[in-house]
Amino acid sequence: MDHVVVGMSGGVDSSVAAYLLKQQGFDVVGIFMKNWEENDEDGVCTAAADYADVRSVSETIGIPYYTVNFAKEYRDRVFSYFLDEYKKGRTPNPDVLCNCEIKFKAFLDFALSTGAGLLATGHYCRLNGDHLLMRGADGGKDQSYFLAGLTHKQLERVVFPIGDLQKTEVRLIAKEQGFTNALKKDSTGVCFIGERNFKQFLMQYLPAQRGDIVDERGRKIGTHDGLMYYTLGQRRGLGIGGRSDGTGESWFVIGKDLGRNLLIVQQGEHEELYSTSLDANTVNWIAGAAPAQVFSCTAKFRYRQPDQAVRVIVTGNGVHVDFDQPQRAVTPGQWVVFYQGDLCLGGGPIDAVAPLKAISV
């Protein structure tokens, strides 16, 4: 009988993944990963509540369950990168890096060291016959974007038991089995921040460097708390609404000048907020190589974005990507992820974008 380790978060998705594997006759062990050691704003350790759900579900299914602590690895490999990127004025995606460095590297290595043949997770993804990554059947829940940094070698030892299911089906299975977390709310946002105020969290680690907010003509509009707290396309939280000398439209962040510590904003969504191409210096191709030196496909520049048609030119370890249509607020630090139909080709962090109209402050 095949031995499978299931990464159980306490959520309904990984719980149903474990249940389905047990029903299929696998020898299943549930393992809860603790990646962050800190209480929330109310002094409650959320990991304790999640582990209680893992324990309850595992006992209902009838599988053994354990916990492992990767908090040090997470701080060293993910959180330090997260802070470094924000210091550079970029907007990183730590969830992608967590999958690359923790769940499917440190945790996968741990799972295999126990004698398991496979690692299973509750991701909404699928694998084709060649162990390449495919979108999940539930288009609204597909998580292939977050797994674009994985390699074919890693995916050969991974299974996604709920990849062919809709979220409604997953919850129904959990309810039918009497799981305590059947109706548990989905986790949102960055895992180590949870429901907390993002800016307040970041201020604990990166001291504020206040500076001027200016418009696209260089006029001072207000004061910012630190460039790392803002991202391209941001509208809320700028503190500059209600001015009498503007058009009455909302203000949006259209750029940052790190050298002069300026946050550049504009009223309305105009050409300065859009770009025509991007460069990514390091791209992971899941199959081991790009499909061609130059090719057309679709891409996402952030999670939940509809696919956008692009032309990709491979440049050494990276790519230059031309957009068929100008794209709004493509942000350095976020990942560009490439698709051919339902097949996820891979992706990498965005390093530079070419604006539709240059900003000259």
User: Any idea which residues carry the catalytic annotation?
Assistant: 98, 191
Residues making up the chain, counted from first to last: 361
Instruction: Write the Ramachandran bin of 159: left for phi over 0, alpha for psi from -120 to 50, otherwise beta.
Output: beta
**CA angle at 234 for the pair 229 and 235, rounded to the nearest 5°:** 120
> Crossing angle of helices 46-61/12-23, nearest 10°?
20
Helices (H) and strands (E) in the chain, counts: 9, 19
- Whether 156 contacts 119, CB under 8 Å: no
Collapsing DSSP to helix, strand or coil, 18 comes out as helix
Residues 6+ apart with CB under 8 A from 49: 10
Measure the CA–CA gap between 30 and 180, rounded to whole angstroms. 16
**CA angle at 137 for the pair 134 and 139, rounded to the nearest 5°:** 95
Please identify which residue in the block is written with the tokens 């499909």. Answer: 291
Structure tokens at 87: 């210091």
The terminus-to-terminus CA distance of the chain in angstroms comes to 66
DSSP tag of 289: S
Judge residue 128's burial from the number of C-beta atoms within 10 Å of its C-beta, 0-12 exposed, 13-18 middle, 19 or more buried: exposed
Measure the CA–CA gap between 192 and 253, rounded to whole angstroms. 26
Please give the C-alpha separations between residue 294 and each of 2, 180, 299, 303, 339, in angstroms, as whole numbers: 42, 50, 15, 24, 14
Closest CA relative to residue 28, chosen from 13, 48, 8: 8
Helix (H) or strand (E) holding 58: helix 46-61
Please identify which residue in the block is written with the tokens 């630190």. Answer: 226
Structure tokens at 80: 């330090």
